[in-house]
Structure 1
Amino acid sequence: MIPLSLADIAAVTGGTVSGDPALVVTGPAYLDSRLAQPGGLFVAVAGDRVDGHSFAAHAYAVLGSRPTGRPTVVVPDPVAALGRLARHVVRAVAPTVLAVTGSHGKTTTKDYLAALLPGAVATEGNRNNELGVPLTALRLRPDSDLLVLEMGARGVGHLSYLCDIAPPRVAVVLGVGSAHVGAFGSLDLTATAKGELPAALPGDGVAVLNADDPRVAAMPTPARVLTFGERGDVTWRGLHLDRLARPTFSLGHAGIWHRVRLHQSGAYQVANACAAAAAALAVGVPLDTIAQRLSTVEEVSPLRMAVSHHADGLIVLDDTYNANPEAMRAALRTLVSIGSGRAGRTIAVLGPMRELGEASASAHAGIGSHARALGVDVVLSVGATAYASGIGFSDIPSAVHWLREHLGPEDTVLVKGSRAAGLDALSRDLRLHLSSPTPATDKSA
């Protein structure tokens, strides 16, 4: 963070100082007391289960709602104060802000974009809410010129709030889907909420919109529009998937084409890569450089179609960070793409999809039908019997037991469900206990 005294922070946030007002914060802001940084600012939030103020004893400085015994800026609402502090830092540093939103694909697209802009300050993982966005912004240094933010929303007004903290100059909208539709209320309201991002752009900004999603393509914006997709300004051709469903394709814009080979599995990654490419073009990165950098991205955020091989030939696809119907269908297609060239079975271990509201039952049933139509050999439902397909288990230990008993060499297993379902533990069990994993080093094209 840029150096700020507690008196400065109090002036920005409307707080008062308990302790030495001249104490200067130079390290990042953080929420987890176990991640304390030298010279950092511990943001003490009182939650339903844990009160951060109880863990402030070793903090260098604190932003909280009451004195802590450590130098503290006391404010009525630490979350709102965190946003005000981040807004001040963004305005002081004045980086070019590139923001990514959408119902699915946000984190991988943000990861690609960060790789295309070396040196940019970027969201870690998917810290995309009213806490994560300001925490990322507060990592800006005085000489930072690029800020890449993933922005999430679960209701109308959320993105407008985040854009007030970090006004974007480039806005990427990936798609409007059924993720969190139970919270939004409808797809139309989801589109309204996502549309707040391109609407927040200045006239000389760039809106990167999905040409293949009618709701996104129609979003109003005062900025120049640069589309991506099969029908977009930034597009692809000659798509080929290797034995691990990793895409190779030609990336195109304005009649110029360059070859890209992604290291991430799934044909759906191509659209994410093209969205990131369009955003990078918007800030002046040449297309050939973009293609070269995309081809060198080895890792993205964890639990997103992570592929592990095992000594007996088993392949596990860990896509357990989150789940919604669109992402679930894409993951199942990737499972079949990889498994179709192998001797073993394709097995989908599916947890529940959360926050779908009244559409939940039909959405789960539809995914079960889609898995059967794709030819998935075995579907295991964990805590989500509404898939009405294959074998149902009420809990993870029961599913693990079945898998240990029935998995064979050359099987390909997809593990996917909403984060709250905890299926990452099941995937971890497969990797650690069934056989010795080896890296996904297959270089065949």
Structure 2
Amino acid sequence: MIRMTLAEVAAAVAGRLQATDADTPDTTVDGTVDTDSRLIGPGDIFVAKPGETTDGHRFVAAAAQAGAALAIVEHPVDAPISQIVVADAVQALADLARTVVAQVRAGGDLRVVGITGSNGKTTTKNLLARILQDEGETVAPRASFNNEVGAPLTMLRVTADTRFLVSEFGAAAGGQIARLAGLVTPDIGVVLMVGLAHAGGFGGVEETLKAKTELVEAVRPGGVAVLNADDPRVVTMAAVAAARGVAVRWFGRSTAAELRAEDVEVTASGTTCVVVAGDERLPLRLRVLGEHHVMNALAALAAARELGVALRDGIARLETVEIAERWRMQPLGSDRVRIINDAYNASPDSMAAALRTLAQIAEPGQRKVAVLGAMSELGEYAGEEHDRVGLLAVRLRIERIVVVGRDARRLYLAAVGEGSWDGEAVFFETADEAFDYLSGELRDGDRVLVKSSNSAGLRHLGDRLGESFS
């Protein structure tokens, strides 16, 4: 974080300073801000956030012992550390982030990019950060820090020398993206797609569209919206951008896109295509598995171009990326039995994309095995969408469909009903049972996809399989 006095922090968060005898209102702090006391070090700022399972106030003393310089609390705590008392710690986190980013912007050339979409946010964020880091100091979220806590924590990592802030905005309900993006008023807003991810929380895909449009509405006038030309729902956001004086740049695979991909080919070692922009036609060799990541790469390249990065340079930097993120199309195991662990998140769209990738990368004689768990937060759509995935797996001729967890049982039944009734589809209640089965079932040449939402926990099963067959 930038250097601020305790008085300035208190003013930013509308809090009351209670300083120790060693501090005064003019004492300065510039450490990392975090809500996890285990990550606090000397000079850092600890935000005591009440949670569902525990209360951050219980760890203020531990943060002080670790060397924290300041705690932001909702009530005073008996601990040897200066404290700023606020009404709402999460709101204070947002207010502090807004103030810090505004000060850095006022004093330098910080550019802010916001990214949202039903799928692909984290991958696109990582790809864009890789491109920008060679241009100057770049701050981007760790993992999927995209909610009311994670997004401000990322924003608070900016310094006076930061040139680029890449923010990822997720949401489970309307209004959340507006609040988060409103903290920084992005120069560029990237919208990847509108699908059924979190549809249960939003109440349907049309409500999801409204929520994702909030990012375009938050882009500063004179800024740029980078939009997916292949998604009809995203295309409607162009009118919103125009009404706000925001320019639109299109990416995609259709001829309507200003930056598009042609001649896409998928192999077990990655994906190749030709990137076309005007008269430029440049090859791209992505090592990240999956045809769907071509769109994420295009979005990152389009945003980078708006920030002054030459297309050729952006492509060269993308080609150095080996995996987008842990548990996202992550290759594990060995050439003998290849495990693709993609079980950090799942929606109907990403599940279909992962299954198609599995079908594409398996060579003749190599068996395709899909280990599938539940897709969460689909609400009333859950049953029919799990049915669709089961049907798709059969139609893609996946030789073994291993379904794990009671919440995914509809997927198994759909696969059986579609024709996988001779042992091709199997069901297990637990990941341990599935691991025992797969340990004896997998054989040389198998290509194995592990895919589920985070809540299903299959990412750990993927790790176990990867280690077992390494």
User: Does TM-score exceed 0.5, indicating one fold?
Assistant: yes
2:61 counterpart SS class: coil
The one-character-per-residue Cα deviations of 1:129-175 (angstroms, maximum 9, x if unpaired) are 11111101100111212111111111111111012211101000000
Q: Give the letter for the 2:386 counterpart.
A: H
> Partner residue of 1:275?
299
Query: In 1, Cα distance between the equivalents of 2:268 and 2:429?
Result: 33
C-alpha displacement of 1:203: 2.5
Query: In 1, Cα distance between the equivalents of 2:320 and 2:440?
Result: 39
Aligned residue pair count: 432
Q: Give the letter for the 1:126 counterpart.
A: S
Contact 2:114 2:190 in 1 (8 A): yes
C-alpha displacement of 1:238: 2.0
C-alpha displacement of 1:428: 1.5
1:165 counterpart SS class: coil
> Partner residue of 1:66?
75
2:123 counterpart SS class: helix
> Partner residue of 1:202?
220
> Partner residue of 2:380?
358
**Aligned ranges 1:83-232 → 2 under 5 Å:** 83-94=94-105, 95-118=110-133, 119-219=137-237, 220-221=240-241, 222=244, 223-231=246-254, 232=257
> Partner residue of 1:23?
27
C-alpha displacement of 1:345: 1.6
Query: In 2, Cα distance between the equivalents of 1:377 and 1:299?
Result: 26
C-alpha displacement of 1:361: 0.5
The one-character-per-residue Cα deviations of 1:235-285 (angstroms, maximum 9, x if unpaired) are 0112222333x1111111122111111110001111110011110111111
Q: Give the letter for the 2:113 counterpart.
A: L
> Partner residue of 2:419?
none
Corresponding position: 1:233 with 2:258: yes
Q: Give the letter for the 1:259 counterpart.
A: P
Query: In 2, Cα distance between the equivalents of 1:105 and 1:225?
Result: 20
Mean alpha-carbon deviation: is it higher for 17-26 or for 80-89? Answer: 17-26
Query: In 1, Cα distance between the equivalents of 2:276 and 2:175?
Result: 35
Corresponding position: 1:4 with 2:8: no
> Partner residue of 1:291?
315
Corresponding position: 1:323 with 2:307: no
Contact 1:93 1:142 in 2 (8 A): yes
C-alpha displacement of 1:300: 2.3
2:462 counterpart SS class: helix
Q: Give the letter for the 1:420 counterpart.
A: S
C-alpha displacement of 1:37: 2.7
Query: In 2, Cα distance between the equivalents of 1:18 and 1:299?
Result: 46
Contact 2:268 2:289 in 1 (8 A): no
Query: In 2, Cα distance between the equivalents of 1:345 and 1:302?
Result: 24
Q: Give the letter for the 1:227 counterpart.
A: W
Contact 1:350 1:415 in 2 (8 A): yes
> Partner residue of 2:420?
none
> Partner residue of 2:54?
50
Corresponding position: 1:80 with 2:102: no
TM-score (norm 2): 0.90
C-alpha displacement of 1:38: 2.4
TM-score (norm 1): 0.95
Q: CA RMSD in A?
A: 1.2
> Partner residue of 1:332?
355
The one-character-per-residue Cα deviations of 1:52-79 (angstroms, maximum 9, x if unpaired) are 1111213212111112212111101000
Mean alpha-carbon deviation: is it higher for 39-48 or for 166-175? Answer: 39-48
State percent identity of aligned pairs: 40
Gaps of 5+ in 2: 416-424
Query: In 1, Cα distance between the equivalents of 2:125 and 2:430?
Result: 33
Mean alpha-carbon deviation: is it higher for 139-148 or for 313-322? Answer: 139-148
The one-character-per-residue Cα deviations of 1:279-320 (angstroms, maximum 9, x if unpaired) are 011111111111111112223221100012327x00000001
Contact 2:175 2:211 in 1 (8 A): yes
> Partner residue of 2:326?
302
Contact 2:178 2:215 in 1 (8 A): yes
> Partner residue of 2:466?
431
The one-character-per-residue Cα deviations of 1:23-48 (angstroms, maximum 9, x if unpaired) are 32211101111111321111111112
Corresponding position: 1:400 with 2:428: no
